[in-house]
Structure 1
Amino acid sequence: MSGGPEVVLVGPMGVGKSTVGELLAERLGCAFRDTDGDIVTAQGRTIADIFVDEGEAHFRALEKAAVAAAIAEHEGVLALGGGAILDADTRALLAGHHVVYLSMDVEEAAKRTGLNAARPLLAVNPRKQWRELMDARRHLYTEVARVVVATDGRTPDEVAQAVLDALELKQA
């Protein structure tokens, strides 16, 4: 694999992409980058505020650009926002990379995120909306992923180790 991120983490909101990504970067001796963080920094406001002020389509355009830039520039561990894989061009950019789909079931999602209102796509009936989001996205996560690592009942350390093992990557 030439250039680009060492590992790309995809999966639903609250699955632990940032937490696991930081642990992986530490173990691999490289930098961690989160495209949601890039967007918040560039826009100077939260993702929830972008959704409310300009809508999902505007956010997705920002996200597509942030992901393309990160894949081109970043050589460490990269975490993508939960919906980044909805874009066909983004999925194409992920081809050939070590993409890991971190999965979890709805009960685990409820425990971790509280399925709270700070998540703009889950504002009304959180469990039902989470299930519907996953039904719409699961096949896309699977399509782009080289490996799937279940996070249910595992600590972030255990998940990070499972990712390293699955990709057969050596710690720094």
Structure 2
Amino acid sequence: MTGTGTHRDGGPGPGSGPAVVLIGPPGSGKSTVGALLAERLGTGYRDTDSDIERIAGKPIPEIFFEDGEPRFRALERQAVRDAVAEHPGVLSLGGGAIMDEETRKLLTGLPVVFLDVGLADAVKRVGLDAPRPLLAVNPRQQWRALMEQRRPLYTEAARAVVTTDGRSPEDVAEAVLDALELRQS
């Protein structure tokens, strides 16, 4: 999709902000595809979940269990704000970052791609026994409920949607480059 783009007041204009922002649920391939995209675009890769863990000094599940989800979401909001302001490369956001209205506003006008994945592929990729706090009890049902809540927000925030089901990370990276018209000659 092309166009002049709408930028929030004081937000990034053309040429500022990340080159690509990846959003989507756990298991959509944001980290793997993000690293491939950064390599292909000759730029850096940044993951806000890693930023949060570095700032907090502990893994995300520990933040949830020891400090609570509100504290995690506050750290996440700040990590996204900082990354959007500072990082010119490929940026991956945590699966739930899109739930925050401030975060959605920050993404307005940016090259955001929603990596969409079905439950079967998500299970294969992350194994729903992985330490993901919001999926701890009845992971398949929780994943479905999260997607029911988040899918409209992912779609609304995205400039493009790329389905990852049955595709290799390399194929998904190529589809993202095509969707954003970033193909390097």
CA distance 1:112–1:74, shift in 2 (3 Å): same
- Rounded Cα–Cα distance in structure 1 between residues aligned with 2:87 and 2:152: 26
Distance across 2 between alignment mates of 1:74 and 1:113: 27
The residue number in structure 1 matching 2:17 is 4
1:22 aligns with 2:35: yes
Q: Give the counterpart of 1:77 among 90, 97, 100.
A: 90
SS at match of 2:26: coil
Residue 44 of structure 1: CA displacement?
A: 1.3
Displaced runs of 4+ in structure 1, greater than 3 A? none
TM-score, length-scaled by structure 1: 0.98
State the match for 1:36 in structure 2: 49
- CA drift of 1:171 comes to 2.6
Deviation at 1:2, TM superposition (A): 3.2
Segment of structure 1 superposing worse, 139-148 or 162-171: 162-171
Distance in 2, matches of 1:37 and 1:22, equals 13
Partner of 2:8: none
Note the C-alpha offset of 1:117.
4.5
Question: Which of 35, 59, 65 is equivalent to 2:72?
Answer: 59
C-alpha contact (below 8 Å) 1:10/1:102 kept by paired residues: yes
Q: Partner of 2:117 in structure 1?
A: 104
Q: Is the 8 A contact 1:29 1:171 kept in 2?
A: no
Among 85, 107, 113, the residue aligned to 1:94 = 107
Note the C-alpha offset of 1:112.
Answer: 1.1
Write the distance in 2 (CA, Å) between the matches of 1:71 and 1:134.
Answer: 24
Q: Partners in 2 of 1:116 and 1:15 — Cα distance? A: 16
- Answer whether contact 2:38 2:44 (CA < 8 A) is retained: yes
- CA distances 1:92-148 after superposition (whole Å, capped 9, x unpaired): 000010000000111111111111140111111011000000000000000100000
1:135 to 2:148 alignment: yes
Q: What letter corresponds to residue 18 of structure 2 in structure 1?
A: P
Matches of 2:142 and 2:33, distance apart in 1: 24
**Aligned AA for 2:78?**
A
Could you state the TM-score of these two structures normalised by the residue count of structure 2?
0.91
AA paired with 1:142?
T
Structure 2: unaligned runs, 5 residues or longer:
1-13
Q: Is the 8 A contact 1:115 1:122 kept in 2?
A: yes
The 8 Å contact of residues 177 and 183 in structure 2, kept in 1 or not, is answered as yes
**Residue ranges of structure 1 left out of the alignment (5+ in a row):** none
Aligned length: 172
**Cα RMSD, aligned residues only:** 0.9
Q: Does residue 156 of the first structure (1) align with residue 156 of the second (2)? A: no
- Find the residue that maps to 1:9 and give its secondary structure: strand
Cα deviation per residue 1:52-109 (whole Å; 9 max; x = unaligned)? 0011111000000000000000000000000000010100000010000000111111
Structure with the larger helix share: 1
